[in-house]
Structure 1
Amino acid sequence: MTHPVPARVARLCEQVSPLLDDAGREAAAAVRAGLAEPLRLAVVGRVKAGKSTLVNALVGRRIAPTAAGECTRVVTWYRYGAPERAELHLRDGTRQELPLVDGRLPESLGVPDADVARIVVHLQAGALREHTVIDTPGLATLTAANEAATREAVLGAGDPAAGSSDAGQADAVLFVFREAERQDEVEFLRQFRAATGELAASAVNAVGVLSQADLFDGAGMDPFDAAEGQAARLAAARVADVSAVVAVSGLLAETARTGRIREQDARVLAAAADVPEQRLRLRHRMPLPDGVDQAALERLYPVLGNYGVHRGRERAGAGAHRLVGWLESVSGMARVEELLRRSLLSRAHALKAMRALTVLTRSAQRAGAEAALALIEEARLDPALHPVRELRALRLLVAEAPASPLRAALEQVSADTTDTARLGLPHEATPDEIAGAARQRAAAAQSQSAFALMPAEVEAGRVLARSYQLIARRARP
């Protein structure tokens, strides 16, 4: 563990653990163990929002069940690991193998779902090297226990509004909106901000997707164009809750990435290329023209949806490879992954540190351990944990002064890349060039902070100046 952020948090865990009660020591040990793991990304949304389909697209496997069943009522973790397998982590602390069926989670768990804390699936999927995906039961479900499982996994136990939550197990959230936001979604996002402690006034650790973009009613527009417009409106309305919202079709992405399209399917679609779209929509009332395999075409509708079938016909003539490439492109999944990389994965160490500080602080407060609280405060001021302060300042700025000229600089410097990238300099820049540029920008940020009118801009300028000073120090110790 050579990165300074997790190394400093690990040292803090070792320092405070002896000062905590049994529950606090257990929490500190869990925090310490989690520092070496990939970012934990919870996928959250209402029932039927398309969460599990999106998870399958993220993982590149048709592993998550999309129809209602016992598995969809339990929180499921998808982690990188071999051999590929699934396990039930029961509430009594024991574990039990859950055999996969044709590479997918089974419909039945074999035990009451109330006895299951979570399902853990180990897969050799490249995407899971960077982040562990936590698939959650839907919000606003008719089964209170299902929604409670989601809230416990993401928000933790206790009352987030009262500051008594354990901060949950997720480092970040991918929130899935289906259409316009609902009141329960707004409330959940508010509680997530409260539960995450260090981010109580920001949206650093939450991004949004508007799912099922292929089903949007565009009133004559392309459904994806209509969905993009709605995503932009959601992002503007929830600027304090999610850093961005992008439109995506989880179904098209899942189909493209999980090998569901074969050459035979492409030929079936191509044969229907000249059939008017309205005739396809009326296919149950009148037979399709000769040469179109109606039964085979019908089997493609659940795989591609109306949009994929009707718009994919003209690409299918070039073969399955061309069709799959179009599905991948139009689905919007690449934009989702870019959003995850830019907003979450590039800052994974700082996000995990924020959650760790929240867990340790609340454990120390419950135990009345003043000495532990003093050590935590000392760690907050350590230059090694300055990235935590950067992210907090950034999202405060986005929430209070989104048009501030400091925003772009703070976004760039808070990305967990190289110092040359943070400064926008060529990779081959010399230490003297790096130090000189950093000092100039530190002075400019201090000046902007001095003349700022809004508290968020004052803090952003101070934090940015300190960031540049630390870069200059690293370049020329």
Structure 2
Amino acid sequence: MRPVVARIARLCDDIGPLLAADGQDTVAAVRAGLSEPLRLAVVGRVKAGKSTLVNALVKRRIAPTAVGECTRTVTWYRYGAPERAEVELRDGSRRDLPWRGGRLPDSLGVPAEQVARVVVYLQAAALRDQTVIDTPGLATLTSANEAATRAEVFGAGAAPDDAEQVSRYAAGQAEALLFVFREAERKDEIEFLTQFRAATGEIGASAVNAVGVLSQSDQFTGTDPFEVADGRAAQLAAARAADVSAVVAASGLLAQAARTGRLGEGEARLLAGIADVPESLLRLRRTRPLPGTDPAELDRLFGLLGVHGVHQGRHRSARGAHELVQWLESVSGVAKVEDLVRRSLLSRAHALKAMRALRVLTDAANRTGLDTGAALGLIEQARLDPALHPVRELRALRHLVAEAPVSPLRAELERVSADTTDQVRVGLPASATPDDVATAARRCAAAAQEQAAFAPMPAEAEAGRVLARSYQLIAQRARP
């Protein structure tokens, strides 16, 4: 167990007896979550392409994309065997769901108001390091559906005097956020990001625990819609620097087509057969059917790939489905999404869990403490423990990105706060000896202290101080 996680586990053991029964339930849930993968919530507006992107990430066409009961509930995708699905009811009970062809059913078999969440267990490699939480969406068809998203992500919606709901929501909150933008940000999206920043306390949604995806990049106009989308993603990232670390352009639709086994040689032959058809005639296919093609099959192909996927994919299908799938995988940008999640979120998963745990435990102490002062004192002791210094690194990074996003200290703090080796943290190769690491760490600490002393902004000064302490701890680990 990592030191940062072990310290939080010890805090849970110490603080539990100081809380009332519902607070102890919260502590137990926090402790159990320490050994689980990072909880990543996928959030965005209705029809933003959240479920399509989830399908691409888990490489299964399992998340429903058409409006139905399952799209109006929160769904957790966990790693597990045997593969199965179950519905968790608000009374705490669970029911198995029909599992036909590896797809969720259209109906859950119980009234929606009784459903807390759907849990799906898959043997998908992507779920070994993260639990993906697919949410109903913002500006959804009913206020209850949107409330489910807000409650699952940051506990909004529970009545202040409903201790059971507060406890359950606190235990189920996401630790990181993948925000799916469709085109341009809307008012409800801005409000949600602001609420997430407030709900996650001293970290906030920032370079620490939130990233963005422009998910329907294939639908932008222009000769190369992805080039246009890349520019728009950069604009969104700059505009929302306080809320997300970066925004990448991708197409969930093309990624889903590439990764879920829905494209075979038949589809490749159909695409290759229309390679020479002018785009103008393809657009008129419903009023002027193309000779030698099945209109229904062509419509299905457009449904799978979209306009851009068909228009460009037909020129990459002559050699069969393999060539087509490779092109779709490359152009979809899904690898950029995975890389962003890995670099920005999974690389600091343990510290994110610790930060969230401190917030939830503090709330529990204030709400249910039998000896609130003693409980808060234990939390403060934990915060000062060197084992939890990674939490201070994340806090410093959050402030630095918000106040001085182009600071030269940003890349250094991102490197030091990532879950990597001490050799990498001090800029040395893997072959570096402990003496080499200690010497380099002391040199870096001195440089960071100097930067802190002459920093033009408070956030940079704090980043310098935190970095100096980080390097001092690295030197101590190298030569105890």
Q: Secondary structure at the match of 2:307?
A: helix
What is the CA distance between 1:179 and its match in structure 2?
A: 0.8
What is the CA distance between 1:158 and its match in structure 2?
A: 5.7
1:9 partner letter = I
C-alpha separation between the residues in 2 aligned to 1:361 and 1:342?
29
Q: Secondary structure at the match of 1:274?
A: coil
The 5-angstrom pairing of residues 119-198 of structure 1 reads 119-157=118-156, 166=170, 169-198=173-202
2:319 partner letter = A
In the other structure, the counterpart of 1:409 is 412
The 5-angstrom pairing of residues 10-409 of structure 1 reads 10-157=9-156, 166=170, 169-200=173-204, 202-218=206-222, 221-290=223-292, 292-368=293-369, 369-409=372-412
The 5-angstrom pairing of residues 437-456 of structure 1 reads 437-456=440-459
Contact (CA 8 Å) 2:444, 2:468: kept in 1 or not?
A: yes
Contact (CA 8 Å) 2:248, 2:337: kept in 1 or not?
A: yes
1:404 partner letter = S
| CA displacement, residues 245-276 of structure 1 (integer Å, 9 cap, x when unaligned) | 00110010011000011011111111111111
In the other structure, the counterpart of 2:423 is 420
What is the CA distance between 1:298 and its match in structure 2?
A: 2.7
Contact (CA 8 Å) 1:46, 1:138: kept in 2 or not?
A: yes
C-alpha separation between the residues in 2 aligned to 1:233 and 1:115?
41
| CA displacement, residues 177-218 of structure 1 (integer Å, 9 cap, x when unaligned) | 101101111111011011112314744111100111111123
C-alpha separation between the residues in 1 aligned to 2:131 and 2:79?
7
Count of paired positions: 470
Contact (CA 8 Å) 1:189, 1:241: kept in 2 or not?
A: yes
C-alpha separation between the residues in 1 aligned to 2:158 and 2:395?
22
In the other structure, the counterpart of 2:162 is none
Q: How many percent of aligned residue pairs carry the same amino acid?
A: 73
Contact (CA 8 Å) 2:196, 2:205: kept in 1 or not?
A: no
Q: Secondary structure at the match of 1:288?
A: coil
What is the CA distance between 1:278 and its match in structure 2?
A: 1.4
Q: Secondary structure at the match of 2:87?
A: strand
| CA displacement, residues 374-399 of structure 1 (integer Å, 9 cap, x when unaligned) | 11111111111111111110121010
| CA displacement, residues 274-332 of structure 1 (integer Å, 9 cap, x when unaligned) | 11111211222323244x45443332110011111110111100111110000000000
What is the CA distance between 1:458 and its match in structure 2?
A: 1.0
| CA displacement, residues 411-460 of structure 1 (integer Å, 9 cap, x when unaligned) | 11111111111122111011111111110000000000011121101110
Contact (CA 8 Å) 1:209, 1:247: kept in 2 or not?
A: yes
Q: Secondary structure at the match of 1:117?
A: strand
Q: Secondary structure at the match of 2:106?
A: coil
| TM-align CA RMSD | 1.6
Gaps of 5+ in 2: 160-165
Q: Secondary structure at the match of 1:198?
A: coil
| CA displacement, residues 6-39 of structure 1 (integer Å, 9 cap, x when unaligned) | 1111000001011111121111100000000000
C-alpha separation between the residues in 2 aligned to 1:398 and 1:287?
54
Q: TM-score, normalised by structure 1?
A: 0.96
In the other structure, the counterpart of 2:435 is 432
CA 314–392 in structure 1, closer or farther in 2 if over 3 Å, else same: same
C-alpha separation between the residues in 2 aligned to 1:201 and 1:242?
6
1:65 partner letter = P
C-alpha separation between the residues in 2 aligned to 1:216 and 1:311?
14
Deviates more, 1:43-52 or 1:279-288: 279-288
Q: Secondary structure at the match of 1:330?
A: helix
Contact (CA 8 Å) 1:201, 1:396: kept in 2 or not?
A: no
1:114 partner letter = E
In the other structure, the counterpart of 1:464 is 467
Q: Secondary structure at the match of 1:314?
A: helix
Q: Secondary structure at the match of 2:202?
A: helix
Gaps of 5+ in 1: none
Moved segments of 4+, more than 6 Å: none
Contact (CA 8 Å) 2:150, 2:157: kept in 1 or not?
A: no
CA 242–202 in structure 1, closer or farther in 2 if over 3 Å, else same: closer
Contact (CA 8 Å) 1:157, 1:168: kept in 2 or not?
A: no
1:412 partner letter = R
Q: Secondary structure at the match of 1:184?
A: helix
Contact (CA 8 Å) 1:423, 1:438: kept in 2 or not?
A: yes
Q: Secondary structure at the match of 1:398?
A: helix
What is the CA distance between 1:168 and its match in structure 2?
A: 5.2
Q: Secondary structure at the match of 2:183?
A: coil
Q: TM-score, normalised by structure 2?
A: 0.95
What is the CA distance between 1:159 and its match in structure 2?
A: 8.4
